[in-house]
Amino acid sequence: MSMEAAQQTFIAESRELLVNMEAALLTLEKTPHDTDAVNAVFRAAHTIKGSGGVFGFDALVEFTHVMENVLDDIRAGRVKVDADLIALLLACGDHVSLLLDCLSVKDSAAAFAAAQPESHELQAQLNCYLENEAAGLPQVHDDLAHDADVQRIGGGDTVESDAWHISVRFGHNVLRHGMDPLSFIRYLATLGEIQSIFTLFDGMPDAAAMDPESCYLGIEIDFVGAVDKATIEGAFEYVRDDSAIRILPPHSKVADYVNLINDLPEDKTMLGDLLMASGVLTRNELDEVLRLQQRLDEETNADNPDPLAHTQRIGDILINQGMVQSELVNAAIGKQDQIKQHKVLEASNIRVHAGKLDELINLVGELVIVSASVGLSAKRAGNIDLLEAASTLRRLVEEVRDSALNLRMVPIGETFNRFQRVVRDLGRELGKDVELVLSGIETELDKTMVEKINDPLMHLVRNALDHGIESPQQRAQSGKSPRGQLRLNAYHETGSIVIEVADDGGGLHRDKILARAIERGLATADQPLSDQDVYQFILEAGFSTAQTITNVSGRGIGMDVVKRNIEALRGTINIESEAGIGTTIVLRLPLTLAIIDGFLVGVGKSAYVVPLEMVFECIELSQQDRLRVRESGYINLRGEVLPLLRLRDVFETKGEPSKRENIVVVQYAGMQAGFVVDALMGEYQTVIKPLGKLFEKLSGISGSTILGTGEVALILDVPALVQKAVGSETSKDRPALEHRMLERR
Amino acid sequence: MTITLTEAGKDASKLAVNGALTIYEAASAKAALLEALTKTRELEIDLSGVDEIDSAGVQLLILLKREAVKAGKHMRLAQHSAASLEVLDRYQLASYFGDPVVLSPDA
C-alpha cells in the first residue's frame, strides 16, 4: 500500500471513528455514567491520535492529545460529565473532522494554519477541565499523567478502578522487631479510604512448624486517596527492608496486574480472583486478564508437558469459592465471546474503492445486453443446444447482475443516525425538546443513492424541527407531551424505497398555503384542489408561509431544492398532514440507478420498457371498449375506475394501431393507471442508460436501454405518466374519480 | 493472659481467653489452644475477655481455624470483645472465621 492510499484509509477510518464517537457522546448525554460510551469516545480519540502520529499530522495529534487527556480524566471519574462538556466534545469531534478535511485539500499546510485558531480555542476550553481537576490533586497528577502516557505507548489497556493496589508480604521478623502490620493498615486508613483488604496466610506452615512469634501474613489492599506513591511507600518504610511491597498506581495496565499475580508466591488463580472480587479489576478487565493468562500459559506449556497443571483459569476458582456469583463471570466470558465475534465480523469486511464497483456494474450492464443479443441470435438460428446454452447464460447473467447490484446496497441506518446530532443541536438552538425515533434502519438502498438523499433529508429534518414541531409551551397548551417527536422511517415498496420524515407538530395550514399560492399566482381561487395538491405548493421555489425567518429555515429556500434533488433521482414526494397531529413527508425513490427488470411493450414500431415492479397486470382492451375509451379515457375494471393513457397518443406515434390493443395496468404510490399499447413483448432485463442533457426535460421518459437487436428502447417514467393519467381525469371535472384514487391507498 | 477451659468434653468444649493475646503471650497461647483442640471435636473460644490482640494473636486464631478444618473439626469464635472485633475488621477476616458477631454492650 502506498503512503497515499494508506492516508486515504486513515481518513476513512477516522471518519468512521468520529461517527462512533458522536453516537457515544450522545448516549453519554442521556446516561452520563455509561462507561462503555466513555470508553468508545476515548478509543476513537486515541486511535485517531495514534494513526495521525504515524503520518506525522502534528496538528491533529496535538489536538487529539488534549482531548484524550480530558477523556482519560472522565474515565477515571476525575471530571464530571455535564451538558457543557458534551457540547465541547461534540465541537471537538467536528473540529477533528475539519482537520481531516485539511488533509484532503491541495494546500494542507495553509488549511491547517487556517484551522489553528479554532484548535487553540477548543484546546483552551479543554484545558480548563484539566486545570480544574489538577487544582484538586496536585502532586499525584503529573506523575500519573506521565505513567499513563508510557502505558499507552505500550499499547496495553488500563484498568478502570481508581484505587491504588498495594500488595505486601511481611517479613518473618516484623513482629519480633516490634512492628505490627495492623499499625500500617491503621495508618493507611488515616490517609484515605481503604476499599478492601484481603489477608493472606498461605505462607504459614503447619501447626508444629509454625513459630507464633514469626509473621506469616500478607495483605492485598485497595486504597483510594489523594496521595502519591512516595507517601504510600513511606507508610511501609519500617518494614521495607525485609518485606515484599508492590504498589500499583490507579489505572495501571492490566498487564501489570498479571505481572503482579505471577510475581507473588501464592496460587495464581486465587490471587487473580481476589483482585477481581475486591473490585480492583472489573469484568471487562477480567477478559483482558483471561487473554493474557492464556498467552502466558501457552508460553509455559511449551516447556511443561503436563497440560493439567495450567487448566484452571482465573475465574473458575472464583465460582468455586463463592466469591462472586457465577452470572457475573459468565457475563464476563460472554462479553469476551462477543468481542471475538465482533472481531470476526470486522475481518469479513473489505474496503473497496467505489469506482471499482461502478466499473463492475457497467461491465455487468454490457454483459446483460450481450446476453440478450445472444439469446436472440440463438432463437433465429433455431439450434436447440445453442438455445439451451443461451438460456443458461441468461440465468447466470441475471444472478451476476443481482449480486453485483447487491454489492452497492447499504443499510440506510447510517444515514439516519447522523441526524441524531442534527436534531440535538437544532433542538437546542430552537429551544425545543425533540426526540428522534428511527425505524427501518436495516432497509437497504444503493450507495450512490444514499449520498444523494443526504441533503434533501437534511432539509426536511430541519424544516420539521423548525416549522413542524411547536415550542414546548405551545405543545403543552394543545395538550401534547412537551417533548416533540421526529420519526425517520424507511421500507421497500414495489421496487422503490420509501423514506418517511414525520413530525408530531402542528401540521400544515391548508388555507394559509392556498392563500399564499393564489397570491403568488400558482393557483386560482376557483380551482378545485385536493389537499395533496395544495401541500405540493410548499415545494415551489421561494414559497414560505413562515411569519418569522429563523436561522434554520423559513426563507423558502430548501424545499424546492429537495424537490429538484428527489426528481433527479426519479423519485417523488408526497405530503400528508393533519392539523394538530403532524406532517409526514414521504419520499419514494427507485431502489437502484443502474439495472432493472423491465417489461417490454410495443407501440407502432417502437419499444418501451415499463419497470416490472410497477406492472400490476395486463389485460386485453376489448373491441367494444375501444371506441368508448377514446372518448372517456377510463374503463371500468372490476368495478373500479381505471384511468387510461394511450401511449400512441402520448408519444404521437404515426401509423395505424394494431388490430388488438392491450392495457398494462401499473401501480405507483397507491395509484393505478392503464397504458394502452399495441403489443406485449414480455420481461426484459434493462440496463438503464441515461438520456443525454438534451432530453433531460422530456416528460414521460426516464431513460433508455439497448435491446438485444441493438435497437434503442425508451424507459417509461411511470410516476409521471400515472400522475398525468390521474390528472387528466381530474381536469375533466371529475373530482370524484380522483377522490376514489386517493381512497384506495 | 489466661486461658480457661469453661466446658470440657469429647464432643464440645468451650474456653475463654482473658487479657492480652499478643506476641508476648503467643508462644504459650499456641500450645494451650492447640491442646484444647486436640481433645475435642467442637471448640468455642470466648473472646469477651480479650482486651488486647495483635497480629500475632490473629495469626494464632487463623492457625487454630485452619487446623480444625484440616482435622474435620469445628472451631468457633464467640462473644467478640471490642478489641478483637476491631482487629478482625481491620484484616477483614470475619468471613474467614464465619462466626456470627454479636456486639457486646461495651463495644
Q: Residue A392: its pLDDT value, please?
A: 92
Does the predicted interface ipTM exceed a cut of 0.95?
no
Structurally, what CATH architecture does the domain formed by A425-590 represent?
A: 2-Layer Sandwich (3.30)
Residue B55 within a domain:
yes
Could you tell me the residue ranges of all domains in chain A? 3-136, 164-347, 354-408, 425-590, 595-743
Taking contacts as CB-CB distances below 8 angstroms, the residues of chain B near A184 are none
- Name the residue facing B23 among A198, A201, A213 (closest C-beta): A213
Which of B34, B59, B91 faces A204 most closely, judged by CB atoms?
A: B59
Can you tell me the distance from the alpha carbon of A442 to that of A153, in angstroms, rounded to the nearest whole number? 39
Instruction: Give me the pLDDT at residue A323, please.
Output: 43
Q: What is the mean pLDDT of residues A475-504?
A: 86
Which pLDDT band holds residue A266 (cuts at 50, 70, 90)?
A: low
At residue A292, does pLDDT exceed 80?
no
A179: nearest CA partner in chain B: B55
Copy the grid coordinates of residue A136. Answer: 484538586
* CA–CA dist A150, A144 (Å, integer): 10
Q: Which residues contact A524 (CB under 8 A, 6 or more apart)?
A: A518
Query: pLDDT at position A345, please?
Result: 53
Per-position b or e across A302-321, b if 16+ CB within 10 A of its CB? eeeeeeeebeebbbebbbee
Q: What is the model's pLDDT at position A348?
A: 67
Say how many Å lie between the first and final Cα of chain B, rounded: 20
How sure is the predictor about B103, in pLDDT bands with cuts at 50, 70 and 90? Answer: low
**CB-CB contact of B16 with B6 (8 Å):** yes
- Whether A489 has a pLDDT exceeding 90, the answer reads yes
Tell me if residue A9 falls in helix, strand or coil: helix
Please say if the pLDDT value at position A540 is more than 50.
yes
Say if the Cβ atoms of B34 and A207 lie within 8 Å.
Answer: yes
- Nearest CB to A180 within list B30, B54, B62: B54
CB contact under 8 A, B23 and A175: yes
Query: CB-CB: which of A199, A204, A210 is closest to B93?
Result: A199
B26 closest CB neighbour out of A197, A207, A212: A212
Sign of the torsion angle spanned by Cα atoms A50, A51, A56, A58: negative
Q: Which is higher by pLDDT, A720 or A345?
A: A720
The CATH class of the A3-136 domain is: mainly alpha
Q: How far apart are CA B5 and CA B16, in angstroms?
A: 6
A-side interface with B, Cβ within 8 Å?
175-176, 180-182, 185-186, 196-199, 201, 204, 207, 210, 212-213, 215-217, 219
> Out of A113-117, A204-208, A539-543, B42-46, which region has the weakest mean confidence (pLDDT)?
A539-543
Residue A414 has pLDDT above 50, yes or no: yes
- What percentage of chain A has pLDDT greater than the value 90? 3
Looking at the structure of chain B, the number of domains it has is 1
* A516-529 pLDDT, tens digit each: 888 877 777 777 77
pLDDT of res. A146: 40
Helix, strand or coil for residue A670?
coil
Set of chain A residues whose Cβ sits within 8 Å of the Cβ of B27: 212-213
What mean pLDDT do residues B61-65 have?
90
CA atoms of A18 and A229, how far apart (whole Å): 37
Q: Enumerate the residues of chain A whose CB falls inside 8 A of the CB of residue B87.
A: 182
Tell me: pLDDT of A550 over 60: no
Contact B37, B5 (CB under 8 A): no
Domain that holds residue B52: 2-97
Mean pLDDT of all residues in A431-443:
88
A212·B34 Cβ contact <8 A: no
Summarised one tens digit per residue, pLDDT across range A63-90 is: 888 888 888 888 777 778 888 888 888 8
- CATH code: domain of residue B30: 3.30.750.24
Q: Which amino acid is at A584?
A: T
CA distance A703 to A688: 6
CATH number given to A595-743: 2.30.30.40
Instruction: Identify whether the C-beta of residue A161 lies closer than 8 Å to the C-beta of residue A281.
Output: yes
CB-closest option in A186, A207, A213 to B56: A213
Q: Given this model, what pLDDT does residue A545 score? A: 57
Which pLDDT band holds residue A500 (cuts at 50, 70, 90)?
Answer: very high
Q: How far is B103 from chain A (nearest CA, A)?
A: 21
> Which of B67, B90, B93, B95 has the highest number of chain A CBs within 10 A, making it the mutation to test binding with A?
B90
pLDDT at position A298, please?
61
Which letter does DSSP use for residue A107 in this model? -
Q: Which of A355-364, A540-549, A735-744 has the highest mean pLDDT?
A: A355-364
User: Alpha helices of A194-267 — where are they, by DSSP H?
Assistant: 229-235, 254-263
- Distance, CA of A667 to CA of A645 (rounded, Å): 13
Q: Which of A450, A449, A446, A464 is nearest to A414 (CA)?
A: A450
Asked if the structure places residue B102 within a domain, the reply is no
Distance from B97 to chain A by nearest Cα, in Å? 12
Residue-wise pLDDT tens digits, A296-340: 656 555 544 444 444 445 555 444 444 444 444 554 455 455 555
In DSSP terms, which residues pair with A487 in a beta bridge? A437, A502
The residue with greater pLDDT, A505 or A742, is A505
Residue pLDDT, tens place only, A563-598 = 878 877 778 888 888 888 888 999 988 776 667 778
Reported in sequence order, the residue ranges of A494-632 that DSSP labels E, i.e. its strands, are 496-503, 572-578, 582-590, 595-603, 606-611, 615-621
Mean pLDDT of all residues in A353-378: 85
- B contacts of A196 (beta carbons < 8 Å): 92
Answer whether residue B107 is part of any domain: no
Task: Indicate the average pLDDT of chain A.
Answer: 76
Mean pLDDT for A236-261 is: 75
Asked whether the beta carbons of A479 and A445 are under 8 A apart, the reply is: no
pLDDT of residue A599 exceeding 60, the answer is: yes
Q: Which residues lie closer than 8 Å to A465 by C-beta, 6 or more apart?
A: A423, A426, A427, A430, A432, A434, A486, A503, A552
- State the virtual CA torsion across A145, A151, A152, A156 in degrees, nearest 10: -140
Q: How many residues are recorded in chain B?
A: 107
Between chains, do A215 and B30 touch, taking CB under 8 Å as contact? no
**pLDDT for A558:** 67
Per-residue confidence (pLDDT) for residue A626, from 0 to 100: 78
Q: Higher pLDDT residue, A552 or A458?
A: A458
Provide the pLDDT for residue A132.
60
Note the pLDDT of residue B105: 47
**Which helix (H) or strand (E) covers residue A671, if one does?**
strand A671-677
The per-residue pLDDT for A536 is: 81
Which pLDDT tens digit goes with each residue over A3-55? 677 778 888 888 888 888 888 888 888 887 777 888 888 888 888 887 887 77
pLDDT of residue A1: 54
Each residue's pLDDT tens digit, A121-169 = 888 888 887 766 444 443 333 334 344 333 333 334 566 667 788 888 8
Task: Quote the pLDDT of residue A682.
Answer: 84
On whether residue B77 sits in a domain, the answer given is: yes
Q: Are strands B13-21 and B42-53 parallel, antiparallel or unpaired?
A: parallel
Amino acid letter, A139: Q
Q: What is the model's pLDDT at position A554?
A: 45
